[in-house]
Structure 1
């Protein structure tokens, strides 16, 4: 008889703000922001089996982050990533990468899906102002042999229909992997992280967390009295004239009030936090705050 196993895991998502050559008022150049961001990532994944999901990452930022994560380890490949630039499917434009530790997680398959009417090629559709993607990876934990489907996205900031359609494409991908011959019987749990550019009463969030969706907001699976840090995840740099809002999320497959087709409840959420993005030095590391969850993956 197989004994159920529980695997502790940390998931962090952060829109790091792309390295613009024309900073907003209150925004510092990437050269000033990279070190606070690296300290955040290193501190929150030290001695943790973790995934890091980032958005708005240009190629030079990707290289800086990967080098910084690996600089604290004895081997130069302690961390790796999956993902491509959204503009050409290679290095151009923003990435939505998923960073992982190859010694801990075996990468079985990954792909980039464009959130458009032509999802296999770089493209945008509907009312999207920018090309948008979701990065998808299948990972097997080397020690426990548990397999997860990890997804990371950044939805459009202008197009309401684009966000609605993108949310449905993402749900279609979850179903495709869950029911597919290649990985369907292997996958224990699914998570989706990212900047949805959607508040809780708006299209992307409501589609992705609807009663018929297999996904649920991790923040809702922990009592509000046990949340740590802030509530809002987008702050701006202080001069945008817009109210801070909650638009960055980590969604997990399954909740207590949803019955999944495969009959399992794979995640137990142990902690939820929204981290600060500015400290005593006054430097905003990004115009977004990081969201972090601690979970147990249950087989």
Structure 2
């Protein structure tokens, strides 16, 4: 039976909007947005070295910019970087296409294993299935917290924006992976598992209903009293000119059952535009402060 101290940590998830060469009306190019995003990441991880940063729609050049920016304040005398990441480009399993990366600090978390699963009928290779408009993936990492010994399964995804069937099937694949890890080689070691990402699914729609209605996953938004939440509710805003309404489609979900006992100490949806009028993305970041109970 697992016996480890309690562990508080933070999960920040943000669809940062890929670096398109043809911005929408109201959208600034990545070169004008990237420092605003980095400021968000720096500020929200400044005193939380146990944070996981989970991003979506990240092209390889954005990976380079973000990793460089996160490590820009690293101690130059240190032989190891402050931040590293796991994840691959969805189009070829290397650097092509969008990543769903998970950034972490190797001085805090030891990476035990990593996996990319394609959310399709052929999950071990780049592919798409059903009615998906794009290739979709989930990034999975097994991390052990060095101070407490807690082992956490971190999962990050971005589900299809067009295909209802593909979102439902993707949710089922993700739940099956959670069960696989809970009963596999790491099963006796897992302290907790979480899923972050842009599900492109509202509460009454297929993916959210499958993930949470099954009882396998709990929505951090619903585990904090409304009066104790900070910021906005909607996580998708657009760039100010879309006909699509604002909505909540980005989540941090916690796996339930087994050895996993959680407490959610904080939940927030951060602003993505300030007085300068520049959107750092068409999505807002979601931040959940969670506690794994020993």
TM (normalized to structure 1)? 0.95
Aligned to 1:267: 262
Write the distance in 2 (CA, Å) between the matches of 1:183 and 1:242: 42
Q: Any idea what SS the aligned residue of 1:12 has?
A: strand
Q: Any idea what SS the aligned residue of 1:166 has?
A: helix
- Residue 282 of structure 1 and its aligned partner are, at CA, apart by 0.5
Aligned to 1:35: 35
Q: Are 2:126 and 1:122 equivalent residues in the alignment? A: yes
Write the distance in 2 (CA, Å) between the matches of 1:265 and 1:60: 37
Write the distance in 2 (CA, Å) between the matches of 1:213 and 1:163: 18
Write the distance in 1 (CA, Å) between the matches of 2:260 and 2:153: 15
Aligned to 1:196: 199
Match of 2:273 among 260, 271, 278: 278
Aligned to 1:177: 181
Write the distance in 2 (CA, Å) between the matches of 1:298 and 1:253: 14
Match of 1:234 among 228, 233, 236: 236
> What residue ranges of structure 2 are gaps of 5+ in the alignment?
none
Write the distance in 2 (CA, Å) between the matches of 1:249 and 1:13: 8
Q: Are 2:108 and 1:107 equivalent residues in the alignment? A: no
Write the distance in 2 (CA, Å) between the matches of 1:12 and 1:149: 15
Aligned to 2:94: 90
> What residue ranges of structure 1 are gaps of 5+ in the alignment?
255-259
Aligned to 1:214: 216
| C-alpha distance after superposition, 1:202-253 (max 9, x if no partner) | 000000001x332110001111111100000000001111110100000012
Aligned to 1:144: 148
Mean CA deviation greater in 6-15 or 117-126: 6-15
- Residue 298 of structure 1 and its aligned partner are, at CA, apart by 1.6
Q: Any idea what SS the aligned residue of 2:97 has?
A: coil
- Residue 73 of structure 1 and its aligned partner are, at CA, apart by 1.8
- Residue 265 of structure 1 and its aligned partner are, at CA, apart by 4.2
- Residue 266 of structure 1 and its aligned partner are, at CA, apart by 2.1
TM (normalized to structure 2)? 0.96
**Cα pair 1:253 1:266 within 8 Å, conserved:** no
Q: Any idea what SS the aligned residue of 1:67 has?
A: helix
- Residue 144 of structure 1 and its aligned partner are, at CA, apart by 0.6
Q: Any idea what SS the aligned residue of 2:93 has?
A: coil
- Residue 6 of structure 1 and its aligned partner are, at CA, apart by 1.5
| C-alpha distance after superposition, 1:40-90 (max 9, x if no partner) | 001001120100000000000000000000111214611000000000000
Write the distance in 1 (CA, Å) between the matches of 2:224 and 2:204: 20
- Could you say if the C-alpha distance between residues 4 and 146 of structure 1 is closer, same or farther in structure 2, counting changes exceeding 3 Å? closer
- Residue 4 of structure 1 and its aligned partner are, at CA, apart by 5.5
Structure 1 runs of 4+ with >4 Å offset: none
Q: Any idea what SS the aligned residue of 2:207 has?
A: helix
Write the distance in 1 (CA, Å) between the matches of 2:272 and 2:230: 14
Q: Aligned-residue CA RMSD in angstroms?
A: 1.3
Write the distance in 1 (CA, Å) between the matches of 2:116 and 2:67: 19
Aligned to 1:154: 158
Count of residue pairs the alignment pairs up: 290
